[in-house]
Amino acid sequence: MARRYNMESIQTFIKFFSSSWTNSRTIIQTTSIPKPSLTNQAHVLYLHTSQPFSPLHQSNASFCQTTKAKPTCAGIRRHSRMACCVSITACCDRYYDATFSAAGLRPSVVSLSDGTSIHLWSPQYPNPSSRRALVLIHGFGASATWQWAPYLRPLIKAGFDLYVPDLIFFGGSFSPSPDRSDYHQARSVVGVLDRLGVSRFGLVGVSYGGFVSYRISELCPERVERVVLICAGVCLEDTDLTKGLFVVSNVADAAELLVPRRPEKLKELVRLTFVRPPRVMPSCFMRDYIQVMCTEYAQEKTELLQFLIQDRKLSNLPKLTQQTLILWGEQDKVFPLELAHRLKRHLEENSQLVIIKEAGHAVNLEKPAEVVKNIINFFVEPSSNNSTNDHKE
C-alpha cells in the first residue's frame, strides 16, 4: 500500500502541475512528445544545491548529476527534506521544454540595452508573410512553458507564429533595473519583439500577463491587432482590498499566496485558483515546487505585486483602442467576476466578455479547449465577433 500511495501521490502532483497531460487531451496530442519517466529505471535528478534548479540555468547548481535509480518511499521522504531526491518539478519542467521544442519553437535569450535579459520561445522558422504573430504572456506562478503548453498545437494549426516570453524574474528572464512596474515589463517584451523583427502582433495575457498585455496595447496601439485578457484584474483599485472584494486584505497577504514560501500557502493557492483542486497534495511535492519555481527572485516578485496594487485607480487606466476579448472563469476567487464586468464597462463597445462555466482563476488550465476556441475565433474570424454582448460557455 505504501508504494501504491507513493505513485498515486506522484500522479496527483502531475495532475495539477502538468495540466496539459490531463485536462487538455482534447486539444493536443502528447503521444509523440517525450515524457519524464517515472518507472523503476527512471532518470532521477540528484540535487545538492541551495539554488533553485532550472534546465536553462544548470550553472546555478553547485552539483547536479543524472543517474539511474529506483524511486522508493524512503527516497520520497528524503525529498521532503530537500536532500538527495527525485525532483518531479524539474522533470515536469523538462517535459514542457520538450513540448515546446516538439511544436517547432526554439528557446533563446535576448539582451536589451538596459541590461535586461528576456528568455523566450519563438518559431524556429517564422513566416510573417503567411502567418500572424501571436504573443502569449503568462501570469504569476511557474514559467511560461507550464502555462501555455496546451495551446501550442491548436494555435499553430490555426495559422499563428507564436512568441512566448518569460516575464522579468520568471523563468530565464532577469533585469538589473529597480523598476518593478508593468510598464517596464511591457517595454521589455516590445524590445524583444523589435529585436526579432515582429512589427505587428496579437496579444493573449493571463492574470498578471493580462496587466502587461494591457500596457503593451496602450504603448503600441498601431502594432497590436487585438487583445485577449484572461482573468486579468486590470480594473482593480487599491481600495478593493480593504473593501473585502478579495480573499486577502493587503498586499503582504497577497504576496504570501502568489509567491508561496510554505507548502500550506501553496495548497491554499491551489484551492483558490481551481474549481476542482487535487484532493491529495503531498507537502513533499509542494516543497519541491516551491524550491524549484518560487524561491528565486521571491523578493522581486513581491515588489512586482506591490507596485501593481499601490495607489491603483480605475480613473487612471486608459481605454484601449483595440478590440478586446475578456475571458473569465465564472468562479474566479482571485480576481472575482465583478472585475470582469467592470473591465467590460470600462472598454465599452471595443470589448466582449465571455464567462466560462465551472472554471476559476486557472481557467487557462482547467478549460483549455474552451479558452483556445475563443482565442482562435476572436483572431481568425473577427467578422463574427463584433457583438459586444456578454455570454457564457
Domain boundaries, the chain: 100-241+306-392
What pLDDT shows up at residue 227? 98
What pLDDT shows up at residue 327? 99
CB count, 10 Å around CB of 244? Answer: 8
Q: Where are the beta strands (DSSP E) in the chain?
A: 43-47, 64-68, 105-111, 117-123, 132-137, 160-165, 201-206, 224-230, 323-329, 351-356, 391-392
Q: What is the pLDDT along the chain (393 residues), one digit of tens a residue?
A: 444 444 444 444 554 554 433 333 333 333 333 433 333 323 223 232 333 333 333 333 322 333 333 334 343 334 444 434 578 999 999 999 999 999 999 999 999 999 999 999 999 999 988 899 999 999 998 899 999 999 999 999 999 999 999 999 999 999 999 999 999 999 999 999 999 999 999 999 999 999 999 999 999 999 999 999 999 999 999 899 888 788 888 888 888 989 999 999 999 999 999 999 998 999 999 999 999 999 899 999 999 999 999 889 999 999 999 999 999 999 999 999 999 999 999 999 999 999 999 999 999 999 999 999 999 999 987 655 554 456 666
Q: Which residue has the cell 482562435?
A: 376
Query: Cα(first)–Cα(last) distance of the chain, in Å?
Result: 41
Cβ atoms of residues 165 and 173 within 8 Å: yes
CATH topology of domain 100-241+306-392: Rossmann fold (3.40.50)
Q: Which three cell numbers stand for residue 377?
A: 475565433
Closest CA to 361 of 389, 325, 327, 392: 327
What does R_g of the chain's alpha carbons equal in angstroms?
20
Q: Which three cell numbers stand for residue 86?
A: 527525485
What distance in Å separates the CA atoms of residue 308 and residue 364, rounded to the nearest whole number?
22
Closest CA to 283 of 79, 22, 146, 143: 79
What distance in Å separates the CA atoms of residue 372 and residue 27, rounded to the nearest whole number?
9
Which pTM value belongs to this model? 0.79
What distance in Å separates the CA atoms of residue 314 and residue 306, rounded to the nearest whole number?
17
Q: Which residue has the cell 514559467?
A: 143
What distance in Å separates the CA atoms of residue 364 and residue 147, rounded to the nearest whole number?
8
Q: Which residue has the cell 476559476?
A: 360
Q: Where are the beta strands (DSSP E) in 232-362?
A: 323-329, 351-356
Give 14-55 pLDDT, tens digit per residue: 545 544 333 333 333 333 334 333 333 232 232 323 333 333
Q: Which residue has the cell 509523440?
A: 32
How far is residue 353 CA from its own chain's centroid? 21
The residues with which 136 forms a beta bridge, in sequence order, are 204
